[in-house]
């Protein structure tokens, strides 16, 4: 089912609903691009609020889908996976209107990166986990994502979150600066609207130009300097040690079902 988009107090509210916890796979990528095509076509002047459903904003990449690709030994297939994943993140990151992640629950690994793609992040005060746990489960962090993480969180917290790979509770995630504000669950959308409507529509061009200027060094880094590093990703994704870590994680998930 395609993501739903509705107008809410002068904002375009996008609800991700690819699957129960919005694990990210080829269908998620398709749904995201279709949603942003609709935003550009039908809601082009409005700021955007992105949220999930139930207890999850997004649980990150679909392990079954992704680990099968990483272990395939097909380097072109792995490059294609990364290209598709990168394009979805940059689609949000570069969107010229204000974007707000209304984080309604767990935002883990790629799910947290989706939130970090947004200009602002508001979280509901509830029990949930947040973090970038790619490295401890055998997934090298792509250099393009590292640039987005550092832009959103700063170099020190970005390095800590990426390399340690810990999952944090809400209080620690808030202390580290993952969110601009934490509110009661029934105030989540109202707070998101407040951030999204930081400008009036007649200032959209000023916002878009300023956002592009702020992101210029990041995009230059991604376009010009991460290419060589990210060309190493397919081999890294398929590394024997990484594959063992990925298999352990796969077994953990199976046991919990």
**60 vs 235: CA distance, rounded Å:** 21
Number of structural domains the chain divides into: 1
Bridge partners for 131 per DSSP: 108, 167
Q: Is residue 239 part of a domain?
A: no
- C-alpha 197/C-alpha 103 separation (Å) is 17
The answer to whether residue 236 sits within a structural domain is no
Q: What is the CATH classification number for the domain harbouring 160? A: 3.90.226.10
105 in a structural domain = yes
Hunting for tokens 């005060």 — which residue is that?
A: 125
pLDDT at residue 257, as a whole number: 54
Each residue's pLDDT tens digit, 93-144: 999 999 999 999 999 999 999 999 999 999 999 999 999 999 998 888 988 9
Residue 164: φ, ψ to 5°: -75, -35
- Alpha-carbon distance 105 to 90, whole Å? 23
| Integer Cα distance of 70 and 79 in angstroms | 10
**How many other CB atoms are there within 10 angstroms of residue 189's CB atom?**
22
pTM of the model as a whole: 0.94
CB atoms within 10 A of CB 143: 18
Instruction: Please write the tens of the pLDDT for every residue from 173-215.
Output: 999 999 999 999 999 999 999 999 999 999 999 999 999 999 9
Do the Cβ atoms of 88 and 32 come closer than 8 Å?
yes
Q: Are 196 and 48 in contact (CB under 8 A)?
A: yes
In a domain, 219, yes or no: no
Q: Give the domain extent around 103.
A: 4-187
pLDDT, mean over the chain = 92
Question: Is residue 215 one of the residues assigned to a domain?
Answer: no
């Amino acid at each position: 089912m395609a993501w739903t988009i509705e107008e809410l107090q002068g904002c375009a509210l996008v609800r991700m609903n690819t699957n129960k916890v919005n694990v990210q796979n080829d269908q998620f990528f398709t749904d995201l691009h279709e949603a942003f095509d609709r935003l550009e076509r039908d809601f082009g002047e409005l700021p955007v609020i992105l949220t999930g459903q139930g207890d999850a904003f997004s649980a990150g990449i679909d392990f079954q889908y992704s680990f099968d690709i990483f272990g395939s030994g097909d380097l072109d297939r792995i490059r294609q996976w990364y290209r598709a994943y990168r394009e979805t993140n940059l689609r949000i990151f570069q969107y010229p209107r204000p974007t707000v992640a209304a984080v309604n629950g767990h935002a883990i690994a790629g799910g947290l990166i989706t939130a970090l793609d947004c200009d602002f992040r508001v979280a509901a005060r509830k029990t949930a986990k947040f973090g970038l746990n790619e490295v401890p489960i055998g997934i090298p962090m792509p250099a393009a994502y590292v640039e987005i993480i550092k832009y959103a969180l700063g170099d020190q917290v970005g390095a800590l979150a990426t390399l340690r790979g810990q999952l944090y509770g809400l209080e620690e995630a808030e202390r580290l600066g993952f969110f601009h504000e934490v509110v009661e669950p029934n105030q989540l959308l109202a707070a998101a609207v407040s951030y999204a409507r930081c400008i009036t529509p007649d200032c959209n061009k000023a916002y878009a130009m300023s956002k592009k200027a702020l992101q210029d060094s990041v995009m230059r880094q991604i376009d010009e300097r991460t290419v060589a590093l990210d060309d190493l990703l397919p081999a890294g994704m398929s590394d024997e040690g990484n594959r063992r870590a990925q298999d352990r994680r796969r077994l953990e998930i199976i046991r919990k079902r």
